[in-house]
Structure 1
Amino acid sequence: METVRTRTDVGQESGWAARLTRRQGVGALVAEAAGSPLKRTMGVGQLTLLSVGATLGTGIFVVLGEAVPEAGPAIVVSFVLAGVTALFSALSYAELAGMIPGSGSSYSYAYATLGELVAWVCGWCLILEYGVSVAAVAVGWGQYVNELLDLTVGVTLPDSLSAPPGDGGVLNIPAAAIVVLAMVVLLRGARESAVANTLMVGVKIAALVMFCAVAFTAFRAGNFTPLFPLGTAGMSAGAASLFFSYIGFDAASTAGEEAKNPQRDLPRAIILSLVLVTALYVLVAVAALGAMPWQKFEGTEATLSQVLVQSVGGGSLWPILLSIGAVVATTSVVLTVQYGQIRILFAMSRDGLVPPLFSKVHPTTGVPRANTVIVSGFIAVLAALVPLGALADATSIGTLFAFMLVNLAVILLRRRSPGAPRSFRVPFSPVTPILGVGFCAYMLFSLGTDTWVAFGAWMAVGLVIYWLYGIKNSRLNQRPELQEPDLTQESA
């Protein structure tokens, strides 16, 4: 009896350790993605704009005020350094997205390489990253709407209706409203969501190009002398702050089952989006620092609209246009990141680690409808009632942990499955992914104690859920043939 029970539970292996480390086969993951009920409607252009939409948002509109005092004019170099840091992980994402083109992103990659427990932890980190960051961006959207109302009609919403209880309000209605609006768009289907995102990305890129054009009229080269007034340490500190402006480039990897040609297009979209975002960030930084001396950024939020008002004096037109661009930018981020959150839960549900309700797809729209409504409702409540503060910083831990696992997955799969088909290969492996792990680990341990405490509490809740539900309902219990006890067999 004991032998029968063990084979039922863990296939060819035995013991709790084996259950926690069981892996899904790469071949099984690829076959499952090929037969997905989701509709394949996205080409490389839409996939690239999906990642750009998730990345290019609130960060560039507010980050200069926080980062410039740390680095001075060297903030331009900081943007490049942060972009290179993100590139290490982007290359690893590109290889794995072309190899395992599913909806689970780094969760699925971890499942194929590091085992079920680590995959669950990775998925739980992504839920934190995506869910809380959407709520944080939604709160920022409400602030931009208030700024736009003040610039155009001279009125703002009262705090009681535009701030959560902890920030002196009662209910943040604008933040909840944008989440619900994004839900309505997402329920219409992936094609419609991609079209809406494409339009919004076009608007926010146009707004940033407009900012550069206006700011360059007041450009003074002397503002960049000296380039490193706070030393290279200041430049590095600025890069650490700016790294989080790059979070979101991995959004295309959650659309693997809705891409027309995922093996070819996903790697291209991930790398193209990062290159485009980095170029825009550097251009905006050069324009802003050239228009206003870096010392004036101290003590101010220094959004781009403030840079125009203080240094260019373009009247009310330019700040209004830029505020419109900021509203559209944050709307795009809410839409695309919410999309990614839903697809990751879809993949986890299909694997049996969360209830099957999250993987039910509507036959007409090809959308996981219940999943979309539940996730959007939770995020809307979070955005309306919770002052995020340090909790939003916990998204950084989730992101960096996921990035680190993706780099490790590349190293492991190169050893276990050297002959498996890869449409893109990370150059200079294993050096490149090892550098990716190192940079992520460095930034993880540079985060504050409060952030680690919040993250620890979140992970404790996640492990309880896995122990009570996921480990028993995992699909690998019912279908041990999907398990890959030795991935080296795959390359034979």
Structure 2
Amino acid sequence: MTRRKPVADLIADNGQGSGGALRRTMGMWQLTMISIGATLGTGIFVVLGEAVPLAGPAVTLAFIIAGITALLSALSYAELAGMIPVAGSSYSYAYATIGELGAWVCGWCLLLEYGVSVAAVAVGWGQYVNELLQLVLGVALPEALSAPPGDGGLLNLPAAVVVVLAMVALLGGARESARINAIMVGIKTLTLVLFCAIAFSAVKAGNYSPLLPLGMGGVSAAAGKLFFSYIGFDAASTAGSEARNPQRDLPRAIMLSLGLVTVLYCLVALAAVGAMHWTHFDGTEAALSKVLGGTTGSVLLSAGAIVAVASVVLAVLYGQTRILFAMSRDGLVPELFSRVDPRTGVPRANTLVVSTFIAVLAAVVPLGELADATSIGTLFAFALVNVAVLVLRRRQPDLHRTFRTPLVPLTPVLGVLSCAWLMLSLGSATWLAFALWMAVGLLVYFGYGRGHSTLSQASPESDAMIR
């Protein structure tokens, strides 16, 4: 359970699966678009309306604070992604530093984060499609086909459809799906830029006063809520085995995507509270449409949200399959998940199985508070990445690092503490769901993963070196 996989072995195994290897086709631009695609989605379209009543006009400051919190972990991700440029993201980093059981726990958390979040986001996509149909055509999908059984319907067909569409794009190859994702990122970025242009033209200086109507306590509460708008910046690290120059490009893509998303978030927030008084937001999910007002604004934002959410489904589903690929390569899950199609260079069976499972989940399960469990899984994985930086700096200080986290150990320690603080702010239902998920994960590890691990086949001499 404590055996570690040396960094050299992780890199040597990089991208190798049964039947072939993942193909290195992505440059820094595609990697950056993957992270932006996974991050810039429902968060800005939904969470802004919930955060403004807490922070008032200072919601922009709350975005900055949340961005700095994300930056603490992003710096650690950048160092490890450049040093261990392999598929698997924080799962692989934990395997090299904390040990096999810690890596399994991290990977299991990522499966929760990616799998449930894709299903939850797909459900949101269906809601936006329905809203756009009502605005443009005056019709709506029947409830039987737009809601799961627990919510009065038979199945959420649009939610399943968007997952299937993302699956088709991924099966075409990493390069092709990266191009589709880049187009969608461009569309949703343009949508938010147009929103800013329209909203800034209606800004009233008086809407920014008083800046802190509820004090810094309100800003802090808003920042805790807004942090989850940044989840996804680590998606580029799952593409380590398909990047052409991962040591150079992965750290740059992670930092660049976080910077661009933060700037866009702050501009949108500044424009929104300037164009509409903060007391009018009242927690509404359609805050941006309300700011623009009228049918035209609502159609613009609904169309942009559809593209934004589809892009998140595509990018996060991609990350999910690559994490499972890495775990399968190490023997912790069945070999099926690391079979690479020799024609497309894609883990085809992996993609089909994962997409089918998530499509069914999105179509028939009312996710409710279970979706909040994705946050705790993400934060736990972030904390382990910060710990991994500290461990490798101590054990292997001479390893080549293309990016170095500044102010070590202060920065990683602050990263761990900030993740712990946000985890403790989550409700008891989220912790219960997390505990049940981890219990299932430990049963799977001890029942299958521990005995099938590739490291379990090592000779006593090599096993001693691994430990």
In structure 2, the residue matched to 1:102 is 86
Q: CA RMSD in A?
A: 1.2
In structure 2, the residue matched to 1:490 is none
**Within-5 A mapping of 1:280-319:** 280-309=264-293, 315-319=294-298
Shift of 1:389: 1.1
In structure 2, the residue matched to 1:388 is 367
In structure 2, the residue matched to 1:331 is 310
Matched AA of 2:4? R
In structure 2, the residue matched to 1:403 is 382
In structure 2, the residue matched to 1:221 is 205
**Within-5 A mapping of 1:220-239:** 220-239=204-223
Q: Tell me if structure 2 keeps the 8 A contact 1:411–1:430.
A: yes
In structure 2, the residue matched to 1:446 is 425
In structure 2, the residue matched to 1:42 is 26
In structure 2, the residue matched to 1:186 is 170
Note if 1:470 corresponds to 2:449. Answer: yes
- Residues 484 and 75 from structure 1, CA distance in 2 versus in 1: closer, same or farther, beyond 3 angstroms? farther
Taking the aligned partners of 2:171 and 2:94, their CA distance within structure 1 comes to 29
Taking the aligned partners of 1:169 and 1:485, their CA distance within structure 2 comes to 57
In structure 2, the residue matched to 1:8 is none
Taking the aligned partners of 1:77 and 1:437, their CA distance within structure 2 comes to 22
Which TM-score applies when normalising by structure 1?
0.92
Shift of 1:87: 0.1
Taking the aligned partners of 1:35 and 1:180, their CA distance within structure 2 comes to 26
Taking the aligned partners of 2:216 and 2:56, their CA distance within structure 1 comes to 10
Shift of 1:319: 2.2
Note if 1:264 corresponds to 2:248. Answer: yes
Map Cα deviations across residues 441-479 of structure 1 (whole Å, 9 max, x no partner): 111111100100011111111100001000000000113
Q: Tell me if structure 1 keeps the 8 A contact 2:51–2:283.
A: no
Shift of 1:160: 1.3
Q: Tell me if structure 1 keeps the 8 A contact 2:15–2:22.
A: no
Match of 2:2 among 21, 28, 31: 21
In structure 1, the residue matched to 2:344 is 365
Taking the aligned partners of 1:444 and 1:304, their CA distance within structure 2 comes to 28
Match of 1:88 among 69, 72, 77: 72
Taking the aligned partners of 2:279 and 2:115, their CA distance within structure 1 comes to 36
Matched AA of 1:399? T
Matched AA of 2:12? A
DSSP-derived class of the 1:229 partner = coil
- Residues 484 and 293 from structure 1, CA distance in 2 versus in 1: closer, same or farther, beyond 3 angstroms? farther
Which of structure 1's runs of 4+ aligned residues deviate more than 2 A? 299-303, 315-319, 479-487
Matched AA of 1:372? T
Match of 2:124 among 140, 163, 171: 140
Shift of 1:302: 3.5
DSSP-derived class of the 2:14 partner = helix
Matched AA of 1:414? R
Q: Tell me if structure 2 keeps the 8 A contact 1:82–1:239.
A: yes
In structure 2, the residue matched to 1:7 is none
Map Cα deviations across residues 124-145 of structure 1 (whole Å, 9 max, x no partner): 0000000000000000000010
Q: Tell me if structure 2 keeps the 8 A contact 1:23–1:485.
A: no
Map Cα deviations across residues 411-466 of structure 1 (whole Å, 9 max, x no partner): 00000000011110001111000000000011111110010001111111110000
Q: Tell me if structure 1 keeps the 8 A contact 2:5–2:466.
A: no
**Within-5 A mapping of 1:452-463:** 452-463=431-442
**Percent identity (aligned):** 69
Greater Cα offset, 212-221 or 196-205: 212-221
Taking the aligned partners of 2:59 and 2:210, their CA distance within structure 1 comes to 12
In structure 2, the residue matched to 1:352 is 331
Note if 1:435 corresponds to 2:414. Answer: yes
Shift of 1:169: 1.4
Matched AA of 1:382? L
Q: Tell me if structure 1 keeps the 8 A contact 2:281–2:287.
A: no
In structure 2, the residue matched to 1:204 is 188
Taking the aligned partners of 2:170 and 2:354, their CA distance within structure 1 comes to 12
Shift of 1:34: 6.7
Runs of 5+ in structure 2 lacking a partner? Answer: none
DSSP-derived class of the 1:218 partner = coil
Taking the aligned partners of 2:462 and 2:271, their CA distance within structure 1 comes to 54
Q: How many residues align?
A: 463
Runs of 5+ in structure 1 lacking a partner? Answer: 1-19, 310-314, 488-492
Taking the aligned partners of 2:254 and 2:46, their CA distance within structure 1 comes to 24
Shift of 1:294: 0.5
Note if 1:66 corresponds to 2:45. Answer: no
In structure 1, the residue matched to 2:96 is 112
Match of 1:342 among 311, 318, 321: 321
- Residues 368 and 157 from structure 1, CA distance in 2 versus in 1: closer, same or farther, beyond 3 angstroms? same
In structure 2, the residue matched to 1:376 is 355
